[in-house]
Amino acid sequence: MQRSRIFGPIGVIWFAVSLAVIVYATRLGLLLAPTEATMGNMARILYYHVPHSMLALVFPYVNFGASLCYLYWRKRDPLKALTADAVAISSAEVSVVYGSICLITGMLWGRVAWGIWWTWDARLTSMLLLWLLYVSYLMLRKLSSTGQTHTLAAVLSVFAAVDVPIVFMSIRWWRTQHPAPVFGGGPDSGLDPSMKPAFGWNVLAWALWGIFLLALRYALERRRQEREQEAALEAIEASLEMAQ
Amino acid sequence: MNYFGHVLAHLRKDLRLEWRSRDAINGMLFFSLLVVVVFSLAFDPTAAMSRQIAGGILWVALLFAATTALNQAWTRELRNRVLEAHRMAPSPPSALFLGKAVANLLFVAIVEAVLAPLFVVFYNLHAVGQGWLLAVVMPLGTWALVCNGTFFAALGLRTRNRELLLPLILFPISIPALLGMMQATTGILTGEFSPGPWIRLLIGYNVAFTTVCLLLFETILNAE
């Protein structure tokens, strides 16, 4: 049977374009953007770190939306529901990847800028908890038995979505009661205009790349689902032949 | 029978089962006692320090103990295919969930009632803040753990490795509630800050998640 192609022409073009933009944006960020006044060259990691953090906050919305679609279509239109589920798992995995990169680069920056790898500051803690939620989502998908994975995962995604605003609120309260000793405000209370192009290109680059990863993972998941359906059909046919 | 009657019937059944075996309560009691002893050996706290850490330790002990009992709560229903019977029964699925969750709340409450005096003895505690507020924080915190815990135990019922899965998904979701109950308890014990916002957080958390649990339980029960 003809398999759907994983890499269509659009995929190839998208891949090439996102690679080109990544190269251009990295060159802008690392070499051409002006050196930051207080932190020097170390601040250049922010061109990498901040876009990843922003995108790590966007992909969970995709996951939540897809999970809601799955729950809606589950009984009404199972084929569409499978599509939604493939989007859900792809976006969850991309969220975890982007979240991990955000946390790791943030720690590298923190080591130099604040002298410590980690502090239980509001933003760091909320990002870590978001990351934990999505890792637990992936664990559930890994451990649950095949027939019900989609539904259970979609339900957990709804729980995570309800949890996230409560997490953000509670962490903010927690940290305003015990102010962190190390630093007060956020890193960018206003970006210098000369840094804006480098920053904008980096956001674009990593967004393109994230969408590419998401689409690739989606195609893989669809292919896995097709195989599963074929195997199920073959099993039914075989049982019918036996009966004759 | 109306909805309330169904909930009551499920609750009565769970209480009777527990009364006959006493597995969950005995297990939880001894387990949380061990956690309390181990922590007090590990930290060897003075009276002032124990006020700072007792809130955290109490809830960690209850969280671990509740997790062990919640795992058992639904496996009971697997024996003799009782769960299949529940699914075919004409009663609303959320009534089954609510009955089970309230039963678990009562079990954990009994454990707390036994544990609290021990805590006071082992850690030389007396509340500097408004001690009566603990009577508000304890039920709210316990419900936050037990409601989601009962739901996730049902969610993980037919998975591989369900004993491991429950804490893996319950803990991350519960972190804001844990933060709320620990901070509120510490605030009451030390009297250094007001537990008010944290109690409000717990109420909000409970309302939000109880609603979601009741709405989605049917989906979980019939997930095939």
Q: pLDDT of A61-100, one tens digit each?
A: 999 999 999 999 988 888 888 899 999 999 999 999 999 9
Of the pLDDT bands very low, low, confident and very high (cuts 50, 70, 90), residue A197 is confident
CA atoms in the 13 A half-sphere facing the CB of A5: 6
CB spacing of B173 vs A171 below 8 angstroms: no
Shortest distance between the Cα of B211 and any Cα of chain A, in A, equals 11
Shortest distance between the Cα of B204 and any Cα of chain A, in A, equals 8
| A103: containing domain | 9-177+198-243
The verdict on residue A83 lying in a domain is yes
Q: How far apart are CA A138 and CA B165, in angstroms?
A: 11
**pLDDT on residue A179:** 47
**pLDDT on residue B23:** 81
Q: pLDDT of B149-173, one tens digit each?
A: 999 998 888 888 888 889 999 999 9
Average pLDDT, chain A: 83
**pLDDT on residue B80:** 85
Cα B213 to the center of its chain, rounded Å: 15
Q: pLDDT of B24-82, one tens digit each?
A: 888 888 888 888 888 888 887 777 777 788 888 888 888 998 898 888 888 888 888 88
CA atoms in the 13 A half-sphere facing the CB of A20: 6
User: Which tokens belong to A7?
Assistant: 């890499």
CB spacing of A155 vs B160 below 8 angstroms: no
User: Which tokens belong to A160?
Assistant: 């995570």
Q: Which of A70, A127, A155, A168 to mutate to test the interface with B (most CBs of B within 10 A)?
A: A155
Q: What is the ipTM of this complex?
A: 0.85
Angle at B90 between CA B82 and CA A150, to 5 degrees: 70
Residues of chain A found within 8 Å of residue B169, distances taken between Cβ atoms = 136, 139-140, 156
For B204, which of A158, A166, A171 is closest by C-beta distance? A166
- In contact, B147 and B104? CB cutoff 8 Å: no
Single out the residue of B199, B18, B185, B194 nearest to residue B99, CA to CA. B18
Q: What is the dihedral of CA B39, B44, B49, B54, to 10 degrees?
A: 20
CA atoms in the 13 A half-sphere facing the CB of B179: 24
User: Which tokens belong to A80?
Assistant: 């569409």
**pLDDT on residue A69:** 93
**pLDDT on residue A3:** 57
Residue type, A218: Y
Chains A and B: how many Cβ contacts under 8 Å? Answer: 90
- In contact, B202 and B179? CB cutoff 8 Å: no
Single out the residue of B19, B37, B175 nearest to residue B107, CA to CA. B19
The verdict on residue A183 lying in a domain is no
CB spacing of A144 vs B160 below 8 angstroms: yes
CA distances from A79 to A64, A72, A85 (A): 19, 12, 10
For B212, which of A140, A158, A170 is closest by C-beta distance? A158
The verdict on residue A58 lying in a domain is yes
Q: Which of B83, B155, B212 to mutate to test the interface with A (most CBs of A within 10 A)?
A: B155
- Calculate mean pLDDT across residues A16-45: 80
Task: Specify the number of domains making up chain B.
Answer: 1
Residue whose structure tokens are 């923190």: A110
pLDDT over 70 percentage in chain A:
87
CB spacing of A170 vs B180 below 8 angstroms: yes
User: Which tokens belong to A196?
Assistant: 């804006």
Secondary structure class of A40 (helix, strand, coil): strand
Single out the residue of B104, B96, B100 nearest to residue B221, CA to CA. B96
Q: How far apart are CA B164 and CA B168, in angstroms?
A: 7
Single out the residue of A131, A161, A61 nearest to residue B212, CA to CA. A161
CB spacing of A155 vs B155 below 8 angstroms: yes
The verdict on residue A2 lying in a domain is no
Q: Which of B174, B175, B214, B221 to mutate to test the interface with A (most CBs of A within 10 A)?
A: B175
- In contact, B36 and B118? CB cutoff 8 Å: yes
Single out the residue of B180, B216, B218, B220 nearest to residue B196, CA to CA. B180
Residue whose structure tokens are 């969930």: B97
Q: How far apart are CA A105 and CA A135, in angstroms?
A: 19
Across A96-100, A203-207, B19-23, least confident range: B19-23
Closest residue of chain A to B205, computed from CA coordinates: A166
Q: How far apart are CA A121 and CA A221, in angstroms?
A: 37
Q: How far apart are CA B16 and CA B20, in angstroms?
A: 6
For B173, which of A144, A145, A159 is closest by C-beta distance? A159
- Calculate mean pLDDT across residues A180-202: 63
Q: Which of A136, A138, A146, A157 to mutate to test the interface with B (most CBs of B within 10 A)?
A: A136
Residues of chain B found within 8 Å of residue A75, distances taken between Cβ atoms = none
Angle at B144 between CA A152 and CA A136, to 5 degrees: 35
Of the pLDDT bands very low, low, confident and very high (cuts 50, 70, 90), residue A181 is very low
Secondary structure class of A36 (helix, strand, coil): strand
- In contact, B188 and B133? CB cutoff 8 Å: yes
User: Is B110 exposed, middle or buried, given 0-12, 13-18 or 19+ CB atoms closer than 10 A?
Assistant: middle
B212–A contact, CB cutoff 8 A: yes
**Sequence-separated (6 or more) residues with CB below 8 Å from residue B60:** B35, B39
| B115: containing domain | 3-221
Shortest distance between the Cα of B181 and any Cα of chain A, in A, equals 11
Please measure the distance between the N-terminal and C-terminal CA atoms of chain A and give it in whole angstroms: 25
Task: Specify the number of domains making up chain A.
Answer: 1
Q: What is the CA radius of gyration of chain B?
A: 18
